[in-house]
Amino acid sequence: MCGIIAYAGHRPAVPVLIQGLKSLEYRGYDSSGLAFVHMNKLHLFRASGKLEALESKLDSGHILHATSGIGHTRWATHGLPNETNAHPHLDVTANLALVHNGIIENFQEIKDSLSNQGVCFCSETDTEVLVCLISHGLQKKKDIKKAISWTLDQIEGSYAFALISRDHPGTIWAARQASPLLFGVGTGENFIASDIPAFLPFTKEVVFLEDNELIEMNAGQWSVFNSSTLEPVNKEVKTVSWDVQAAKKGGYKHFMLKEIFEQPKVIKDCLSGRINREEQKIILPELQNIAVPKRLHIVACGTSYHAGLWGKYVMESMAGIPVDVEIASEFRYKTLVPDKSKMFLFISQSGETADTLAALRLVKEKGFPVLGLCNVVGSSLARESHTVIYTQAGPEISVASTKAMCSQLVLILLLTLYWTGKNNPEEKNSISEAIKSFSSLPDVLEKELPEMQRRIMGISRDYSWAKSFFFLGRGIYYPMALEGALKLKEISYIHAEGYAAGELKHGPIALIDEEFPTFAIAPSDHLLGKIKSNLKEIQARKGKIIALTQAGSELNVDDELQIPQTWGPLNSFFILPALQLFAYETSVYLGKDVDQPRNLAKSVTVE
Q: Which residues bind ligand F6R (CB under 6 A)?
A: 301-304, 348-350, 353, 356, 400-401, 486, 490, 603-604
* Rounded CA Rg of the chain: 25
We find the least distance from the C-beta atom of residue 87 to ligand F6R, in angstroms, to be: 22
Contact 178, 105 (CB under 8 A): no
We find the least distance from the C-beta atom of residue 216 to ligand F6R, in angstroms, to be: 30
Closest to ligand F6R by CB, 128 vs 585, is: 585
Query: Distance between CA 5 and CA 14 in Å, rounded?
Result: 11
Q: DSSP string covering 502-551, please?
A: GGGGGTGGGG-STTS-EEEE--SSTTHHHHHHHHHHHHTTT--EEEEE-T
Query: Distance between CA 604 and CA 151 in Å, rounded?
Result: 25
We find the least distance from the C-beta atom of residue 490 to ligand F6R, in angstroms, to be: 6
For 457-466, b/e burial (b = at least 16 CB within 10 A) is: bebbeebeeb
Q: Determine whether 11 is exposed, middle or buried from the number of CB atoms within 10 Å of its CB (0-12, 13-18, 19+).
A: middle
Closest to ligand F6R by CB, 407 vs 566, is: 407
Closest to ligand F6R by CB, 31 vs 408, is: 408
Closest to ligand F6R by CB, 131 vs 400, is: 400
Closest to ligand F6R by CB, 189 vs 352, is: 352
Q: Give the pairing of strands 468-473 and 518-521.
A: parallel
Concerning whether 536 is annotated as a catalytic residue, the answer is no
Closest to ligand F6R by CB, 346 vs 470, is: 346
Concerning whether 2 is annotated as a catalytic residue, the answer is yes
Q: Which of 504, 282, 323 is nearest to 415 (CA)?
A: 282
Residue nearest to ligand F6R (CB): 302
Q: Provide the β-strand partners of residue 483.
A: none
Closest to ligand F6R by CB, 171 vs 348, is: 348
We find the least distance from the C-beta atom of residue 332 to ligand F6R, in angstroms, to be: 13
Q: Determine whether 95 is exposed, middle or buried from the number of CB atoms within 10 Å of its CB (0-12, 13-18, 19+).
A: middle
Q: In this structure, what is the dihedral angle of CA atoms 16, 22, 26, 32, given to the nearest 10 degrees? A: 80
**Which residues have a Cβ under 8 Å from the Cβ of 415 and sit 6 or more positions away?**
284, 287, 311, 315, 389
Q: DSSP string covering 361-400, please?
A: HHHHHTT--EEEEESSTT-HHHHHSSEEEE-------SSS
Query: Distance between CA 12 and CA 145 in Å, rounded?
Result: 26
Q: How many helices (H) and strands (E) does the chain have?
A: 16, 27
Closest to ligand F6R by CB, 301 vs 417, is: 301
We find the least distance from the C-beta atom of residue 572 to ligand F6R, in angstroms, to be: 17
591 backbone dihedrals φ, ψ, rounded to 5°: 70, 30
DSSP category for residue 315 = I
Q: Give the pairing of strands 370-374 and 342-348.
A: parallel
DSSP category for residue 341 = T
We find the least distance from the C-beta atom of residue 197 to ligand F6R, in angstroms, to be: 15
Q: Catalytic pick from 204, 312, 342, 602?
A: 602
Q: Provide the β-strand partners of residue 176.
A: 160, 213
We find the least distance from the C-beta atom of residue 445 to ligand F6R, in angstroms, to be: 20
| CA 121 to centroid of chain Cα atoms | 33
Q: Catalytic pick from 2, 270, 301, 406?
A: 2
For 60-85, b/e burial (b = at least 16 CB within 10 A) is: eeebeebbbbbbbbbbbbbbebbbeb
Closest to ligand F6R by CB, 267 vs 583, is: 583
We find the least distance from the C-beta atom of residue 400 to ligand F6R, in angstroms, to be: 4
Query: Distance between CA 301 and CA 277 in Å, rounded?
Result: 34
We find the least distance from the C-beta atom of residue 213 to ligand F6R, in angstroms, to be: 22
**Which residues have a Cβ under 8 Å from the Cβ of 135 and sit 6 or more positions away?**
91, 93, 94, 96, 147
Query: Distance between CA 253 and CA 264 in Å, rounded?
Result: 19
The verdict on whether omega for the bond into residue 577 sits within 30 degrees of 0, i.e. cis, is: no
Closest to ligand F6R by CB, 32 vs 603, is: 603
Amino acid identity, position 95: N
Closest to ligand F6R by CB, 550 vs 580, is: 580
We find the least distance from the C-beta atom of residue 298 to ligand F6R, in angstroms, to be: 12
Contact 606, 600 (CB under 8 A): no
We find the least distance from the C-beta atom of residue 163 to ligand F6R, in angstroms, to be: 27
Tell me the catalytic residues. Answer: 2, 602
